[in-house]
Structure 1
Amino acid sequence: MKISFETKIALGFIVNLSAILALGLIYWSQISHTNKTALDWVSLVLIVLSLGMLTVVFFILKAQQKSNKIYEQELLKNKNVLQSIIDNTTNPISVKKLNGEYILVNKQYQLLFESKAKDLIGKTNHDFLPKEIADTYRSSDLEAIKAGKEIHIEETLEQLDGLHTYLSVKFPLFDASNRAYAIGNISTDITERKRVEQSLKAADTFFNLSIDSLVIASQDRFLKINPSLSKILGYTVPELLEKPFATFILPEDVPTTKKEIEKLEEGNNLINFNNRWICKDGSIKWLSWNATADVNTGTLYAIVRDITEERQLEEEKEKTLNELFESQQKLNMILENISDGVIVSNANRQVILANHIANELFRIEDDSKIPINFSDHFEVLYPDGETTYPVQNLPAERALVGEVTDDIDILLKDLETNESRRVLLSGRPILDSKNHVVAAVVTIKDISRYKKLEEELKKRDLKNRTMIGFKKTKQKEKD
């Protein structure tokens, strides 16, 4: 049975009072039959004083007990007020002993570990957290004790919705002797703030490292630019921010630029608008703008690209195409006005160009449909008209492997009409800068008419010789 402290005091007082009274009565009975000396009277006085002191001590203890009870009630009241305050804050709060045992936690702190206060009080972090995490928390607690003042430290904790980051303020608590006896902790969830900071940092990094120039501007001035635009134009960032941006635009392009800005302010996006800018070294650069505007604030947001080289390449390309067109026209005029047929084939054996002589020979108007191998359209024979000429030895095939051929005499017999033509074929390879064959040119000289004339001349010569008395020899007849 547990006896209260008050009962113990009362029992102690009764026992001691009884003992003193009993002692006094025994002593009085012993001296009542004898002559009382001064020492006896002193002893009696001491017994009476003991009774008085015991009574005084009893009432002092009762008063102190009452005072302690009032103090405990006030302490409990203050503790409840403190607990109520810290329970209604949004910050997790805890107090630990120097050995790491929890002696106070608020509701927010309980929610971090999904535990009630009674499950945390008297425990350390090592009782319910992985050792690595608990060691980290313990280390930061000891840092606060070593510093002797508050410290700020970031701590992470895995929760149901993911990893959270807390900014914890840890501080030692001191007793009346100015000795640290506990460690206080107030944490603030800065997860969202960290995300925002990381997003802003990433955005700022992207803004500054972007290959394209990024611009934020008002109607007439740059508000923020990344280093890319500064590098393109040669001005420092402060120089570009200092003056209206129209200062750096070629005067001829300023009116059109202002009109496009007006369209932006009306809510229209700007797509691939090109204008010219004056660089610090005096050179001119073409910039291409894609921009949009915040109609509420009038702020302009733009992505800018340097297209100077592209414009130069386009101009050079256009110039080259014009020159190529002129050359093509001249080539066509030459090809169409020569008496020989001409065929140009690419490396894939596809005809890409033929003049009208070649078109007439094959009876095909579409150049791309002319076969590079004559054997697809003709029976290719030696001049004797009987022996087949090898396809692999045709000038086109030999030219595509890099060989040059001149005046190959062959007979072409049309597969449809059986019409025969004596032609001289020549072939030339066309090489690129690396000496690779990229095309072949074949010329076709029709010598059928000349061969007929030659035969007629021979016949006439033979007839004339017979008429003037020349005798035929066996050798001549053989010839």
Structure 2
Amino acid sequence: MKISFEKKILAGYIINMVVMFLLGIILWNIIPLTTEPVWLWAAMGLIILSLGMLTTVFFILTSQLRAKRISEQALLKNEKLLQSIIDNTNSAISVKKINGEYLFVNKEFQSLFPINGKNIVGSTNHEFLPSEVADRYRNADLEVIKAGREVQLEESFELPSGPHTYLSVKFPLFDAENRIYAIGNISTDITERKSGIDSLKAADAFFNLSIDSLVIATKEKFIKVNPALGKLLGYTTAELLDKPFATFIFHDDLERTEAEIEKLAQGTELINFKNRWVCKDGTIKWLAWNATAEKTTGNFYAIVRDITAALQHEKEEEQLIDELYESQQKLNLILENISDGVLVANNKKKIILANEVANRLFGIEDDSKISINLSDHFEVLYPEGNKTFPAQELPATRAFKGEITNDLDVLLKSLSTEEMHRVLLSGRPIFNTENKVIAAVVTIKDISEYKRLEEEMEKRDQEARPLIGFKPRKRK
């Protein structure tokens, strides 16, 4: 069963919370025996702080995942809307590779060239048009590549209903390295109204319905903006057209924005230029601009995207990574400074965490080489040392069954060194929200020294009794 990322985060949060809680219990019971009380409170304070930070990080992650899911749904909706607009427009839209092979055509374009029911995508003009016509269209595409900008021209198509004239806008498409990889084409039928009135209406409709903000401007002012930009910044169209657009640019970005405009006027394409704009409510938004300039008029044509949320998300991700790293360091510090060995295994019985005490006890530094099954490393005996302890009763085995084990007194005899350790074993299962065991925590308290001292005290007590005149009571 595939576990979702959200469930993995929740499982990790629960595991860390349980481990921290167990560490708190261990510290509370162990530290007073070996050090001053102030260190106990200091350690407990660190654990409480870590619990708080883990909770904060957990809620930040869940909120980010929720926001991401909402954004993905909104993006899918927008893509479907845009595809619907493209397919239902009266303009014929297509995208070709540089070699002339079609990458995309909308329904209107496909309907102009019904080549025996075959989809035009993957074909070239020479495969379904007369050679003379195909050569003419190919030369027009090469002009776009040579110019490196959009080109408008009239094209004639011989259709079943007769010859039609289309106003075609051909434009280059650039990849991430600013190289032309395809040619886009939007063709509008202007047969009936050669004046271009219908073409202007279609362009206006596309302009106004675009989800992205679209702009036409001079070097100082907006000539035309679509409603999306006004909605983005909170101004009316009239307010945006009334003042120089520098009025709305954040003052710290004004100088470099003016420098980019100069480059644009000289024929350099503006690709993904980022600057800050002041909204009507006083908030600041980051916008990304892709723009080109028309040489004949000097006007700029730009597509604008709001990237404020994306930049904020990147910043929050960096902060979250820093906080997670700091939290992990604190957790490691606590684990490495307690006297008990700690092992944590997932539901596949693979060790995912072992502290230094556990590493020394097993004689293994690589956590992944430690087995949660103690019998793989030790001969597990009853305290007397003359009988093997049942493997099914060991804490890890019981923990994966959902059972709790407390202070199980056993003797561990190393299979490699035959070194003996008297230990107390405890085990706890970790459950997910479906009450299934997803991990097990085992603690190992080495009491060999305690038992040795206890036996020595008992021996000395027995030796001292005759010296003080102690006589054992006779049983009746």
**TM-score when normalising by structure 1:** 0.51
Match of 1:322 in 2: 322
Q: 2: CA distance between counterparts of 1:301 and 1:463?
A: 102
Check 1:231–1:401 CA distance in 2 against 1; reply closer, same or farther (3 A cut): farther
Letter in 1 for 2:303: I
Match of 1:408 in 2: 408
Is 1:424–1:447's contact at 8 Å kept on the other side of the alignment? yes
- What does the per-residue CA deviation read over 1:269-295, in whole Å, with 9 as the maximum and x for residues that have no partner? 444433222111222222233444456
- The structure whose Rg is larger is 1
Query: Is residue 462 of structure 1 aligned with residue 455 of structure 2?
Result: no
CA RMSD of aligned residues (A): 4.0
2:229 is paired with a residue of what secondary structure? helix
Alignment of 1:85-96 (within 5 A): none
Check 1:269–1:351 CA distance in 2 against 1; reply closer, same or farther (3 A cut): farther
Match of 2:161 in 1: 164
Per-residue deviation, 1:426: 2.9
2:465 is paired with a residue of what secondary structure? helix
- What does the per-residue CA deviation read over 1:58-117, in whole Å, with 9 as the maximum and x for residues that have no partner? xxxxxxxxxxxxxxxxxxxxxxxxxxxxxxxxxxxxxxxxxxxxxxxxxxxxxxxxxxxx
Match of 1:351 in 2: 351
Check 1:446–1:286 CA distance in 2 against 1; reply closer, same or farther (3 A cut): same
Query: Is residue 258 of structure 1 aligned with residue 258 of structure 2?
Result: yes
User: Taking every aligned residue pair, what percent have the same amino acid on both sides?
Assistant: 62
Match of 1:388 in 2: 389
Is 1:213–1:229's contact at 8 Å kept on the other side of the alignment? yes
1:280 is paired with a residue of what secondary structure? coil
Is 2:346–2:440's contact at 8 Å kept on the other side of the alignment? yes
2:317 is paired with a residue of what secondary structure? helix
- What does the per-residue CA deviation read over 1:136-173, in whole Å, with 9 as the maximum and x for residues that have no partner? xxxxxxxxxxxxxxxxxxxxxxxx96542699xxxxxx
Per-residue deviation, 1:203: 5.9
Letter in 1 for 2:316: E
Per-residue deviation, 1:212: 2.9
Alignment of 1:126-165 (within 5 A): 163-164=160-161
Is 2:267–2:293's contact at 8 Å kept on the other side of the alignment? yes
- What does the per-residue CA deviation read over 1:220-270, in whole Å, with 9 as the maximum and x for residues that have no partner? 333333322222111122322222222111111212222333344455444
Alignment of 1:55-74 (within 5 A): none
Match of 1:240 in 2: 240
Per-residue deviation, 1:437: 5.9
Check 1:199–1:401 CA distance in 2 against 1; reply closer, same or farther (3 A cut): farther
Check 1:429–1:266 CA distance in 2 against 1; reply closer, same or farther (3 A cut): farther
Q: 2: CA distance between counterparts of 1:376 and 1:295?
A: 79
Per-residue deviation, 1:417: 1.9
Alignment of 1:14-413 (within 5 A): 163-164=160-161, 193=191, 205-294=205-294, 297-385=297-385, 386-391=387-392, 393-396=393-396, 398-399=398-399, 403-413=403-413
Q: 2: CA distance between counterparts of 1:400 and 1:208?
A: 62
Letter in 1 for 2:319: K
Letter in 2 for 1:416: S
Per-residue deviation, 1:402: 5.4
- What does the per-residue CA deviation read over 1:392-425, in whole Å, with 9 as the maximum and x for residues that have no partner? x544455556554432333333232222322223
Check 1:436–1:240 CA distance in 2 against 1; reply closer, same or farther (3 A cut): farther
Q: 1: CA distance between counterparts of 2:235 and 2:471?
A: 103
Per-residue deviation, 1:205: 4.8
Q: 2: CA distance between counterparts of 1:301 and 1:435?
A: 59
Per-residue deviation, 1:461: 2.7
Letter in 2 for 1:285: K
Per-residue deviation, 1:439: 4.8
Is 1:382–1:389's contact at 8 Å kept on the other side of the alignment? no
2:352 is paired with a residue of what secondary structure? strand
Letter in 1 for 2:330: K
Letter in 2 for 1:408: L
Q: 1: CA distance between counterparts of 2:433 and 2:313?
A: 21
1:352 is paired with a residue of what secondary structure? strand
Check 1:323–1:237 CA distance in 2 against 1; reply closer, same or farther (3 A cut): same
Match of 1:8 in 2: none
Unaligned stretches of 5+ residues in structure 2: 1-156, 165-187
Q: 1: CA distance between counterparts of 2:369 and 2:395?
A: 19
Is 2:215–2:302's contact at 8 Å kept on the other side of the alignment? yes
- What does the per-residue CA deviation read over 1:27-50, in whole Å, with 9 as the maximum and x for residues that have no partner? xxxxxxxxxxxxxxxxxxxxxxxx
Q: 2: CA distance between counterparts of 1:268 and 1:441?
A: 62
